[in-house]
Chain A
Amino acid sequence: MKKNIFLSLIFVLFPLAMLWADQLFYVSFASRVMIYAIAATSLNLVLGYGGMISFGHAAFVGTGAYVGSILIAEGVTSAFIGWPAAIAVSALAAWIIGAISLRTRGVYFIMITLAFAQMMFYLVNSMKAYGGDEGLSLRQRPSLGFELGNEVAFYYVVLFLLLLSIFLLYRLMRSRFGRVVIAIRENEARAEAIGFPVFRYKLACFVIAGAAAGLAGALLASHGKYVNPNVLHWAQSGTLMIMVILGGIGNLWGGVLGAAVLLGLEHVISDYPIGWLAQLAPNYQQHANLGVGMVMLAIVLFAPQGIAGLLERRKHAPA
């Protein structure tokens, strides 16, 4: 408990410290990490708790991002309208895609979710009225009744939404619904035999995750004041999966840890020159993906439970 209060204090005081140190960039960076954490946590619900390997989660993040952006471009600048609309449309998309995809299993499920994400990617690319493949720039962030253009204010809003998402996930997984979803992951045939409507539970799980991903998308577009079709690119779905695995699949904090470590790693490699490495390979910073790829490969091969798994293993190891 003491540890939790200490951690919360760090998160609450962080932007004030950065403000004092005149490092506003890091407040904005932290907001970005937390937005990705929401997206990764929503995927973790599908992937880790539901056991459904969806390779098209970026479709829902992208739907949310575009719904939020289009509303702002059309003059609806209230976040009280924009964000719920993004959540609703993403949930609807997840309901339609899930209802069709969940009829298939295994590899076919992976591929059909990917196919639907690709369809959305091309559809968004063709929306010439909203920038097409060049993307859509926004004049302003949406408003919550107060100015969200302020990085510190935006940080606290995102922090609140992230904690809310984690809390809801925690409650959900301890509810009857969560128990059934986990039972289905462990043994679908048995859950079906007991009499649970397996398909409906899986679909509900998929839709909740899609809705949360939509919120993350709307936040992402608000944060950068820009959206382009690449938020729906299949590599983005892959990156989200990596965040989940990196952090810890089926772990409450897995998505948060994964997003923080992956984005942090990218940032450190590309923005902080390391003397001896720069001497060895002068342009290494342009090749940040090489390091990211290596770390990912190592995690998959040697630490299948992710960072959260490593931490827990240490906690349980004999002293």
Chain B
Amino acid sequence: MSWILIAEQSLNGLQFGLMLFLLAAGLTLVFGIMDMINLAHGSLYMLGAFLASTFVQLTGSFTAGVLLAIPATALLGMALEVSVLRTLYARDHMAQVLATFALILIINELTRLVWGSDAALPMPGALSGPVELMPGLPYSAYRLVIIAVGLAVAVLLYFLVTKTRVGMLVRAGASNREMALAMGVNIRLLFTLVFGAGAALCAVAGAMLAPLLAVQVGMGENILILAFVVIVIGGIGSIRGALVGALLVGIVDTIGRAFLPILFGVFFQPRAASAAGPAIASVSIYLLMAVVLYFKPQGLFPARG
């Protein structure tokens, strides 16, 4: 096991964690402000990827396609919020889980009708090669771009939430909705905007990850569960918690996948190790969540005091 492998896998973990953060940030705000469980968040991620694939084909440019997909997904997200999700705020969690689960089925089938089961979004040619980060450490240029985009969005989001007036309202809404309402905050409008922003973040993650993973119906569901794990670990409603949780999950998942089989190989038969390794790695993030919840039932950074 060489340091190159460790460095490479850590960067992969960082890259995956940052993309998870983009998903989790929107989810945690929706969850925190309106106390609303939105399983259809992953569907917006999927729609972002499909829209990006179409726009990239239409414009012939990767950047232009992704930049067009972001507002388009945000509009779809806001339309979804105004039409269906808004009526669910007053309902209990079970109704929200079921209604948004129904939305997943509906959006999946509509996507299949419009695009078919999958779409292509090739990596831009200029970024497909490796970059020599340090002598002897080549790393995918495209993954570096993802890391840069993820960091940029995270910084932008941090600035928005902590330094601007809109951000202040969002934080007020997340920590005490009734009080914010009493102070005259237009929570309804604010929430539609937050939902649109969350959808835009989904689109960024979906479009950026699309060349690495496959653009297909159902792609949103597994990553959605991971995003939920992230916000539960981080503490619901907390952006900071989402960032910490996302990096934790991203790194544990990636490192676990890469190194647990090797580690197991030291103690067990190679065949048993290669069979059990990936499964244990998948289990490790859920184990992480169960342990965090056991000791801190409100997550690492509880938003409500």
Contact = CB atoms under 8 A, between A and B. Distances in A.
B289 A297 contact: no
A234 to B, nearest CB: 7
B236 to A, nearest CB: 7
A289 B31 CA distance: 27
Interface residues of A, number: 43
B152 interface: no
A289 B289 CA distance: 32
B279 A123 contact: yes
A287 B95 contact: no
Main secondary structure of the interface of A (DSSP, over half): helix
B274 to A, nearest CB: 9
Contacts of A300: 91, 95, 98-99, 102
Most buried by B among A114, A238, A289, A300: A300
A111 B230 CA distance: 11
B275 interface: yes
Interface stretch (A76-84, A100-108, A203-211): A100-108
Contacts of B94: 47, 53, 241, 245, 249
A263 to B, nearest CB: 15
Given A107-B93, A110-B97, A301-B87, A296 B102 contact: yes
B282 A122 contact: yes
B145 interface: no
Interface string A164-185: 0000000000000000000000
B289 A112 contact: yes
Interface in A122-155: 122-123, 125-126, 128, 132
Of listed A132, A235, A293, A294, residue having the most chain B CB within 10 A: A293
A37 to B, nearest CB: 19
Given A122-B283, A245-B94, A287-B113, A103 B101 contact: no
19 contacts: A53-B94, A107-B31, A107-B37, A107-B232, A108-B298, A111-B289, A115-B289, A122-B283, A123-B279, A126-B278, A126-B280, A234-B221, A238-B98, A241-B97, A287-B109, A289-B105, A290-B105, A300-B91, A300-B102
A59 to B, nearest CB: 12
Given A126-B276, A297-B99, A297-B102, A111 B112 contact: no
Given A100-B290, A126-B279, A118 B225 contact: yes
Nearest to A132: B275
Given A115-B289, A126-B278, A294-B102, 7 more contacts: A53-B94, A104-B293, A110-B37, A115-B229, A115-B286, A119-B286, A119-B287
A289 B109 contact: yes
A28 to B, nearest CB: 25
A29 interface: no
B216 to A, nearest CB: 15
Size bracket of the B interface? 35 or more
A40 to B, nearest CB: 13
A125 B283 CA distance: 11
B3 interface: no
Determine which residue in A105, A238, A241 has the highest number of CB atoms from chain B within 10 A of its CB, and name it.
Answer: A238
Contacts of B37: 107, 110
B101 A290 contact: no
A293 B113 contact: no
Contacts of A115: 229, 286, 289-290
A242 interface: yes
A116 interface: yes
Given A110-B37, A114-B228, A55 B287 contact: no
Find the residue from B91, B97, B105, B286 having the highest chain A CB count within 10 A: B105
Contacts of A110: 37, 93, 97
A292 interface: yes
B256 to A, nearest CB: 11
Contacts of B278: 126
Contacts of A122: 279, 282-283
